[in-house]
Structure 1
Amino acid sequence: MDQGFLAGQLLIAMPGISDPRFERAVILICAHDDEHAMGLAVNRPVEGLSVPDLLERLDIQSEIRARPDLVLIGGPVERERGFVLHTADYHSEHSIELGNGYTLTATRDVLEALAQAGPHPRRALLALGYAGWGSGQLENEIKENVWLVCDADDTLIFGADHAAKWTRALAKLGIDPQFLSSTAGRA
């Protein structure tokens, strides 16, 4: 598998996924190589925690009215760690380019930029935690029909209708979820 093979792509959980933390999940793959894969769920809001609330808790003074977007649960690993997934129009020395116009920054500077009138990302989401896979684990899960893969787009990543993202991602592949089965076979 090529270095960065799935980076910038979306994973869509299949029905019947054995881990309830990923039921109906849509995950943007941020890094993928021979040794690991890392991604952020883009459709799992933390109920009652918005970006302005989090900025206030972190004592980041806002010059502008921050969008009331909900903070997301990026995945079950390191839930106390924050990540900002944003458009590539903003870049700091700590940012990692994901390709397809997306960038990941995990430092306070991007949070401060979101609260200021100066340069900041056009679109962003804040996630706590991430999803991670060891060497070959994600590839095996895809072979076992745990995940489907589709191209990412701004609506699926940054849209506010989190409940509809799973269905929209499937529709992007031409799949109606009512015709999906939680069991798979081999021909």
Structure 2
Amino acid sequence: MSSKPSSLRDHFLISMPHMHDLHFAQTVTYICDHSEYGAMGIVINRAIDLHLDDLLKHLDVEKTLQVHDNRQIYAGGPVQGERGFVLHRLQTEASPWLASYQVTDEVCLTTSIDILEAIASGAGPGDALIALGYAGWGAGQLEKEISENAWLSCPANLDIMFRIPADERLQAAASTLGINLDLLTAQAGHA
């Protein structure tokens, strides 16, 4: 009898140095949902050459909106790359945004445009990461990749996700496990 796999919701997935998949090489992904049906996450360390004002123009948001917080946009993963996702700290007990999914007591994933307008105007959550696209795995796929040593996992750290510069997040996440990725070999294998 096999035991039910534990959920990796609210964990980081850290790509191993030997991963050559261009979508995930040298990434850290925040897992928003994980069940027997699959998993969904947002890559949190792949900044792209796009800022919030560019995204709002593309979405034809009200031209009179003053952008006070022109934050960086991230490539959240290879699935639905045109769709926006905002990972953010929960500001109150109930999210005021139109389309939010509460990942934990502290973190929400919101997909409605109202949060983008609020962030731009300076009224949205301070701790927020805006991404285009997401990472998705079918039933059993993530577990298989982990068993093949493609990923390390560790509990998520919100300071790493929201406060550390994007180019430092991968090593910072690995450091929570006591690992220096620079010292790991890029060769795959099993002991």
Q: Same fold (TM over 0.5)?
A: yes
Q: Deviations over 1:142-182 (max 9, x none)?
A: 11110001121223212352111111111111011232123
Aligned residues with identical type, % of pairs:
38
For the residues of structure 2 that align with 1:175 and 1:51, how far apart are their CA atoms?
34
Task: State TM-score, norm by structure 1.
Answer: 0.88
Q: For residues 82-161 of structure 1, what are the structure 2 equivalents within 5 Å? A: 82-89=84-91, 91=95, 92-99=97-104, 101-116=106-121, 118=123, 120-159=124-163, 161=165
Q: In 2, Cα distance between the equivalents of 1:123 and 1:44?
A: 17
The 8 Å contact of residues 8 and 100 in structure 1, kept in 2 or not, is answered as no
Alignment: residue pair count: 182
Deviation, 1:50, is 1.0
Q: Does 2:55 align with 1:50?
A: no
For structure 2, which runs of at least 5 residues remain unmatched after alignment? Answer: none
Residues 116-140 of structure 1: CA distance to partner in whole angstroms, max 9, x if unpaired? 454x213111100011000000011
Structure 2 length as normaliser, TM-score?
A: 0.87
SS in 2 for 1:21: coil
How far off is 1:64 after superposition? Answer: 5.7
Aligned residues of 2:160 and 2:169 also touching (Cα < 8 A): yes
The answer to whether the Cα contact below 8 Å between 2:98 and 2:112 also exists between their aligned partners in 1 is no
Distance in 1 (alpha carbons) for counterparts of 2:135 and 2:107:
18
1:32 to 34, 56, 65: 34
SS at match of 1:24: coil
Cα drift, residue 75 of structure 1: 0.3
* Structure 1, 134-143 or 162-171: larger mean CA deviation: 162-171
Deviation (angstroms), 1:184: 2.4
Aligned residues of 1:89 and 1:122 also touching (Cα < 8 A): no
Relative to 1, partners in 2 of residues 1:150 and 1:100: Cα closer, same or farther, differing over 3 Å?
farther
Relative to structure 1, is the Cα distance of residues 69 and 147 closer, same or farther in structure 2, using a 3 angstrom cutoff? same
User: Secondary structure in 2 aligned to 1:126?
Assistant: strand
The answer for the alignment partner of 1:74 in structure 2 is 76
